[in-house]
Amino acid sequence: MDKMKGHVLEADSMWLEYEGCKILQNIYLQMQTGHVTGLLGRNGTGKSSLMQMIFGTLRGQNQSVRFNGDYVSHPYQHPGLISYLPQHAFIPSNLRVSEVCRLYKVDFTDLCRHFQDLEQYNLTRVKDLSTGNRRLLGTLLVLLMPVAFTLLDEPFAALSPLSIEQMRRVITEQKARKGILISDHAYEDVLGLADATYLIVPVGRSILLKDVYSELEEFGYL
Amino acid sequence: MKTKLHLSAIFYRSFGFYLWAIPMAAWRALGCPTARNLYVLIPALVLFKFFLQGITIYIFRRRYAHLFFFYANANLSQRQLFAAAFVADFVLFSLSMGIIQLASEWIR
């Protein structure tokens, strides 16, 4: 994938129902390399499901993900296209930090450049890391992977205020190389980073916010 | 390709021992049959392995579904992971049976 060229990833007509209950209806969302896109919505509005549909691991009733206008059926199966940080711990606990970095093609020294405290954990197994460090490792790995687009589901959860501040800097740095979609309940952090923000409102419709704070109040998010 | 093989091996390692050991324990519980008696038993052991593989898929999807994202980030689907793991499992099982058969003939 040519990293110098601008790329666009579009999610269109995303429709998801569980046992007849509508979660997402006709969602449209656009991401671009060089941009951070925010995704906000109240609990249970389907943000995580939408991310998993874009990633390609969750199939809805209808979905269309396009990369530079070309339909991609399972984006995660395309090398160098997309990475996803799920809400829950996802790294097998018996692996060593250095091994996970190698598998994800992430330079451990690059990881430590952002968070020096991680330096001591090179040979540590993931299960021996604290919950916060495990989350930090997962988020950094997904962010630093050599892909065109990254989806971050609650990247600031379980992080201390200082780590959140540093993570914001990493996201800003990485934005120069890729397109990033962030969803987090720390909405001020998301809004501070995002070049464009979508709000998912009941029942499962997306709105591209223009006058952000007044629209967030208008649609009952704030 | 090398990374994908490595990841498939990590995935198989997380349950492979049980998938290999349980049929071997069943073979032992049946009195360690060899030669002709083993040939008769192999189809039943293979069916038992299919059953165990089904249970493995069920348990993994129910309890460890979050781990699939680790492999998906490396472009591997569930289908690819299970297919690679079960092929490796059958190879190991066949090797084990082959070694048992050869050893029994050598002892005789």
pLDDT band at A2 (very low <50, low <70, confident <90, very high): low
Considering only the beta carbons, identify the residue of A79, A90, A92 that sits closest to B75: A79
CB contact under 8 A, A92 and B70: yes
pLDDT beneath 50: ranges in chain B: none
Q: How many CA atoms, within 13 angstroms, populate the side-chain half-sphere of residue A28? A: 3
pLDDT, tens digit, for every residue of A132-153?
Answer: 999 999 999 999 999 999 999 9
- Any chain A CB within 8 A of the CB of B67? yes
pLDDT band at A26 (very low <50, low <70, confident <90, very high): confident
Contact A136, A164 (CB under 8 A): no
For position A133, what pLDDT does the model report? 92
CB contact under 8 A, B66 and A90: yes
For position A83, what pLDDT does the model report? 97
Q: In this prediction, what percent of chain A has a pLDDT beyond 70?
A: 98
Contacts of B81 in chain A (CB under 8 A): none
For position B38, what pLDDT does the model report? 84
CB contact under 8 A, A74 and B3: no
- Any chain B CB within 8 A of the CB of A103? yes
Please say if the pLDDT value at position A4 is more than 80. Answer: no
Contacts of A142 in chain B (CB under 8 A): 73
For position B37, what pLDDT does the model report? 85
Considering only the beta carbons, identify the residue of B3, B6, B69 that sits closest to A86: B69
Question: Mean pLDDT, chain A, as a whole number?
Answer: 93
For position A1, what pLDDT does the model report? 57
Å between B86 CA and nearest CA of chain A: 19
CB contact under 8 A, B73 and A88: no
Instruction: Quote the ipTM score.
Output: 0.92
pLDDT, tens digit, for every residue of A102-142?
Answer: 999 999 999 999 999 999 999 999 999 999 999 999 999 99
CATH of the structural domain A8-216, one choice from 3.20.190.10, 1.10.240.10, 3.40.228.10, 3.40.50.300: 3.40.50.300
- Any chain A CB within 8 A of the CB of B9? no
Contacts of B10 in chain A (CB under 8 A): 92, 95
For position B105, what pLDDT does the model report? 80
For position A114, what pLDDT does the model report? 93
For position A202, what pLDDT does the model report? 86
pLDDT, tens digit, for every residue of A50-82?
Answer: 999 999 999 999 999 999 999 999 999 999 999
